[in-house]
Amino acid sequence: MTVNGLTFDVRIGGPETGPWVLLLHGFPVNGSCYDQVLPRLHESGLRTLVIDQRGYSPGARPAEVDDYRLTHLVSDVIGVLDALGIGYAILVGHDWGGIVAWHLAGRYPDRFTGLVVGSTGHPSAMRDALVASDQRERSSYILDFVADGAEEKLLADDGAELRAVGITADELAPLREPGALTAALNWYRANFTGDIKATMACPPVEIPTTLLWSDADTALGREQAQGSGRYVYGDFRFCELAGVDHWIPQHAAPALASEIALRSTIF
């Protein structure tokens, strides 16, 4: 699909008359991270839309760092929904996809009937956690991601650093395409440098929301996840996954699919 002058790879599946579920991936794995989630949603009668977002779709890799600012990432998603004639959907995001999802829910509440986020808390809860918990230490890896030469470091020794944190060989393969990893890292460079507070500022969310957090996540702590309830002015459910690492879509697909299905029943 062509939106905002870029060509995005999208995947649609499930019953044609089912309620729409929009799923947004994070870093560094594209929409394939939801491969184990989708069949379960289809069995629940839900129709799914997965977008390989800006930088992850080969036809959507602009060259400038500023092209990856949150305003563009949010605009892409709304553009895809508009182009498909989707008036509203259940919104799902993990990791960076969660950040985009919070902003979508906060800025376009009339387009989404429910929100399910894996790992990533509301940006305001993240701001609070950076001051009042160990979240700043947990997030220190971002300095490496925005540094010059990050691509070479992450892909060295057959992608040893990424494989060490749980990225599989199949998930690593698309990142070897020319410009792919640079584009993915530009999400960090565009939004986690400069006036980060202004860039990440997100309205409170008023739609029913579920946040899944896994207690073996080394990058994102409990405080930013559980504290998100302060910024949801509606039903908020906090779901803790015991013994699960950061990669909730891949390693806790049944739990994620179940929570998405539960949110679909509210509407």
CA dihedral 57, 212, 263, 37 (to 10 degrees): 50
Residue 266 pLDDT greater than 90, yes or no: no
Which pTM value belongs to this model?
A: 0.97
Kindly tell me if the per-residue pLDDT of 158 is higher than 90.
Answer: yes
The reply to whether 95 belongs to the active site is yes
Q: How many domains does the chain have?
A: 1
Could you tell me the residue range of the domain that residue 235 belongs to?
2-266
Catalytic entry in 188, 217, 231, 245: 188
User: Is 148 considered catalytic here?
Assistant: no
Q: Which residue in 42, 225, 210, 32 sits closest to 121, CA to CA?
A: 225
User: Residue 187 pLDDT > 80, yes or no?
Assistant: yes
pLDDT in tens, 8-53: 999 999 999 999 999 999 999 999 999 999 999 999 999 999 999 9
Give residue 247's Cα distance to chain centre.
11
**Which pLDDT tens digit goes with each residue over 139-153?**
999 999 999 999 999
Confidence of residue 265 (pLDDT cuts 50, 70, 90): confident
Q: pLDDT band for position 199 (50/70/90)?
A: very high
233 beta partners = none
Query: Which CATH number do you get for residue 88?
Result: 3.40.50.1820
Q: Once rounded to an integer, what is the mean pLDDT over residues 153-168?
A: 95
Active site residue 108: no
Cβ-contact 259, 116 below 8 angstroms: yes
